Amino acid sequence: MSQLWEYAPAPESRDIANLKPAYKMFVDGEFVEGSGEPLKTINPGTEEVLAEVSTASPSDVDTAVKVARRAYDRVWGKMPGTERAKYIYRIARLIQERSRELAVLESLDNGKPIKESRDVDVPTAAAHFFYHAGWADKLSYAGYGPDPRPLGVAGQVIPWNFPLLMAAWKIAPALATGNTVVLKPAETTPLTALVLAEIIQQADLPPGVVNILPGAGDTGAALVGHADVDKVAFTGSTEVGKLIQSQLAGTGKKLTLELGGKAANIVFDDAPVDQAVEGIVNGIFFNQGHVCCAGSRLLLQESIAEEFLEKLRIRVSTLRVGDPLDKNTDVGAINSREQLTKIQELAAAGEAEGAERWTSACPLPDKGFYFAPTVFSGVSQAMRIAREEIFGPVLSVLTFRTPDEAVAKANNTPYGLSAGIWTDKGSRILWAAQKMRAGVVWANTFNRFDPTAPFGGYQESGFGREGGRAGLEAYLDV
Amino acid sequence: MWAIDTAISMVDLTTLEGADTAGKVRSLAAKARRPDPDRGEVPKVAAVCVYPDMVATAKAELEGTGVHVASVATAFPSGRSIMAVKLADTRYAVEQGADEIDMVIDRGAFLSGNYGAVFDEIRQVKEACGAAHLKVILETGELATYDNVRRASWLALLAGGDFIKTSTGKVAPAATLPVTHVMLQAVRDWHRQTGELRGVKPAGGIRSTKDAIKYLVAVHEVAGPEWLTADLFRFGASTLLNDLLMQRRTQLDGHYSGPDYVTVD
């Protein structure tokens, strides 16, 4: 009888991804060969090579920026908002039409489970285009003066954790406000951004308005350092963010950075325990923990800590780790060997520093980059696993005695991107949310993303906001 | 098939109407013994649930068959009576031969925060039950919030209830999947803390095989596989059984049958 309850494999077909052997960069409305060294992108779930992708050299970057400047001067910068909206709306519709293809391709290239790319990444990407299409002709009412002007050419560099979604976060507001774009997707996950380029071509966007240049860090450096770029938007590590900030100092370019995080999830003793356990699991194991706003520190009130931890471990042990294309998979593959090594190194540091390690006994596939969900208890503020961003499925559990102690510990980090509060008491939510130094505070939920809500950080988590009315400011001359 | 047979074996076949007669109870008992007269291999249901004055009739029909006789008691369905009457009601049902007592809690006391009174009442009824199993009906439709359901569940478990049951069937909404989920969490937590296994019984509103299977999945996923037995999970239902039998036939025959091929009792 017990095998009656086993999950049968339910893999999504990889043919739906329409995978091609080679992908080219997208400049001036055409797919062209880059003059950089081509890169091979792999499927982190199996380690097989998916496709070869051409990359941009500094001279390609220069061409793309010139093209974007021309498109800005001649077409896009002058176009009325009502017209721009039509293009953006068309992109949104095309993302929806090709959503299944995009979801499968995203899971292949990134390693995230198909249920997540299908239910979160792709629909949210479309939602960002829909939302910003609505703003294009209403900028006069956004609170930035009667006729706010665009900045010009935006150079954008995005990370590998949400490849398509981050492209949408960056491109949609830039287009809505009348800027043109040169975007560099991450080295390990360029494919969905290039399918988005196909969609942009399908939508008949004027050539040069959006250009997509795959490449590694040097391509990104050439882009953000280009003299004719007016605006730089970067999402990625704090380390690289600092480099960009010092590179741009004194140039007058407008900059927004969305960097790392070490979010605290605070669970008070009156929180509904089972519901909170679900939220904590979602907060750290969603997208294999590759989320800058992941709830990677759990702060438990001491009176419920033991009971909570036990329930948490039982719940985590039911998470299914494996083939990203299987619809039953909860936790997919770590994006790269490099990232896997980093997670392993930090987890080892946690053990060495004396935290108690518990790792789910779930089976892992033989091939590919996988890391079993892990919970560290008995963690103290001084340990590396409480201070450094792990960016993997590893949760550090700390305890507190009073609300003030919880707030002090939660804020005791150089980061400040997100936070979570779990309590039945509304007044305590409001009190704690005000004390929290974080750009986003979730109450009795976690990892909710909506294009209408601004997202961004404090301190080493960066500055500037994306999404919502506040997010428009980053792309307007105000 | 396994799911359908398991669900059949968990049914508390129920008739709780003012119009109940000895004849009605006898025909229900016959159905309980042999749910599908054409197919002897169909499992018996778990129990027949009746009012106290019908217990003796049901007992006479079911003696020795393995089908339990359950009786509602404690001024069912409202619970609005004095303690002496409730206890007398319970003792009478047990004397008449009931194996299981389905009591209702005092929702008025619960909602006014008088949890102690609710607790004491369950305690006393449990004593009056003697060897009979006690199911505690929370009437979740009147408790209104999940927090209340959870609190009442815990109260009933602490006071010694062998089962916690959602509803009388006389109040809408009766059993729902989310409410049952909360109650399953309560018995699971009780098991983790004490090692004791206590049961859950959703009652009212579960009419189709598909619904029943959804509940079985919830039982497996929330409480655990050890709860997938009639000792720990029951369906309080009257119309559900016939749908289970029809779907069972569909599975075996490869085509749909119809309501004329199952008995209406």
Separation in Å, CA of B185 to nearest CA in chain A? 8
Query: What pLDDT sits at residue A4?
Result: 64
Residue B157 scores a pLDDT above 70:
yes
Pairing of strands A374-377, B11-14: unpaired
**CB pair distance less than 8 Å for B220 and A5:** yes
Distance separating alpha carbons of residues B72 and B50, to the nearest angstrom:
6
Q: 């005000």: which residue's tokens?
A: A434
Q: What percent of chain B stands above pLDDT 90?
A: 94
Q: Are B1 and B209 in contact (CB under 8 A)?
A: no
Tokens 């049952």: give the residue: B180
The residue to which tokens 């020795």 are assigned: B64
Q: Which CATH number fits domain B2-261: 3.50.30.10, 1.10.540.10, 3.40.220.10, 3.20.20.70?
A: 3.20.20.70
3-state secondary structure of A370: coil
Same domain, A290 and A322: yes
β B235-237/A462-463 pair status: unpaired
Contact yes or no for A5 and B2 at CB 8 A: no
C-alpha neighbours within 13 Å on the C-beta side of residue A343: 25
Contact B2 A274 (CB under 8 A): no
Neighbours of A329 (CB within 10 A): 25
Q: What pLDDT is recorded for position B265?
A: 77
A212, A316: one domain: no
Interchain CB contacts (distance < 8 Å): A and B: 10
Under a CB-based contact definition with an 8 Å cutoff, are residues B177 and B218 in contact?
yes
Is the confidence at residue B42, as pLDDT, over 60? yes
**Interface contact A5-B225, CB threshold 8 A:** yes
Three-state secondary structure along chain B? CHHHHHHHHCEEEECCCCCCCHHHHHHHHHHHHCCCCCCCCCCCCCEEEECHHHHHHHHHHHCCCCCEEEEECCCCCCCCCCHHHHHHHHHHHHHCCCCEEEEECCHHHHHCCCHHHHHHHHHHHHHHHCCCEEEEECCHHHHCCHHHHHHHHHHHHHCCCCEEECCCCCCCCCCCHHHHHHHHHHHHHHHHHHCCCCEEECECCCCCHHHHHHHHHHHHHHHCHHHCCCCCECEEECCHHHHHHHHHHHHHHCCCCCHHHCCCC
The domain total for chain A is 2
Question: Is position A6 within any domain?
Answer: no
CA torsion, ordered B84, B86, B90, B96, to nearest 10 deg: 80
In a domain, A449, yes or no: no
**pLDDT tens, N- to C-terminus, chain A (478 residues):** 445 678 889 999 999 999 999 999 999 999 999 999 999 999 999 999 999 999 999 999 999 999 999 999 999 999 999 999 999 999 999 999 999 999 999 999 999 999 999 999 999 999 999 999 999 999 999 999 999 999 999 999 999 999 999 999 999 999 999 999 999 999 999 999 999 999 999 999 999 999 999 999 999 999 999 999 999 999 999 999 999 999 999 999 999 999 999 999 999 999 999 999 999 999 999 999 999 999 999 999 999 999 999 999 999 999 999 999 999 999 999 999 999 999 999 999 999 999 999 999 999 999 999 999 999 999 999 999 999 999 999 999 999 999 999 999 999 999 999 999 999 999 999 999 999 999 999 999 999 999 999 999 999 999 999 999 999 999 999 8
B185 in A contact zone (CB under 8 Å): yes
Q: Chain B closest CA to A9's CA: distance in Å?
A: 18
- What is the b/e burial string over B139-149, where b = at least 16 CB atoms within 10 angstroms of the residue's CB? bbbbbeebebb
User: Does residue A240 sit in the same domain as residue A279?
Assistant: no
CATH number at residue A58: 3.40.605.10
The letter for the amino acid at B146 is: Y
B210 within 8 A of B174, measured Cβ to Cβ: no
Q: Does residue A325 belong to any structural domain of this protein?
A: yes
Q: Cβ–Cβ contacts within 10 Å for residue A31, how many?
A: 15
Structural domain of A48: 14-259+458-475
CATH code: domain of residue A272: 3.40.309.10
Nearest chain A residue (CA) to B2: A1
If asked whether residues A273 and A229 sit together in one domain, one would say: no
Regarding whether A469 and A330 lie in a shared domain, the answer is no
Q: Are the beta carbons of A288 and A334 closer than 8 angstroms?
A: yes
Q: Per the domain annotation, does A1 fall within a domain? A: no
Work out the angle between the directed axes of helices A81-97 and A122-135 (0-180°, nearest 10). 170
Do A358 and A269 belong together in one domain?
Answer: yes
Q: Is B201 a catalytic residue?
A: yes
Token pair for B260: 């004329």
* Whether residue A313 sits in one domain with residue A185: no
Residue A272 and residue B147: Cβ atoms within 8 Å? yes
Within-domain flag for A465? yes
Domain coordinates of chain B in residue numbers? 2-261
| Phi, psi angles (nearest 5°) of residue A474 | -60, -20
Do A177 and A298 lie in one domain? The reply is no
Residue A307 resides in a domain: yes
Report residue A63 CA to chain centroid gap: 28
A319 & A394 share domain: yes
Which amino acid is residue A311, in one-letter code? K
Distances (CA, A) of B23 to A46, B17, B19, B29: 68, 13, 11, 10
Contacts of residue B127, Cβ cutoff 8 Å, sequence gap at least 6:
none
Q: Smallest Cα–Cα separation from A463: which of A254, A154, A256?
A: A256
Which pLDDT belongs to residue A3?
A: 55
Do A340 and A404 reside in the same domain of the chain? Answer: yes
Question: Is A391 part of any domain?
Answer: yes
Q: Quick check: B220 and B256 in contact, CB under 8 A?
A: no
> What pLDDT is attached to residue B259?
87
For residue A249, count CB atoms less than 10 angstroms from its CB and return exposed for 0-12, middle for 13-18, buried for 19 or more.
Answer: exposed
Chain A residues with a Cβ under 8 Å from any Cβ in chain B: 1-2, 4-5, 272, 274, 310, 424
Token pair 């009601």 is found at B89
**Residue A291 domain-assigned (yes or no):** yes
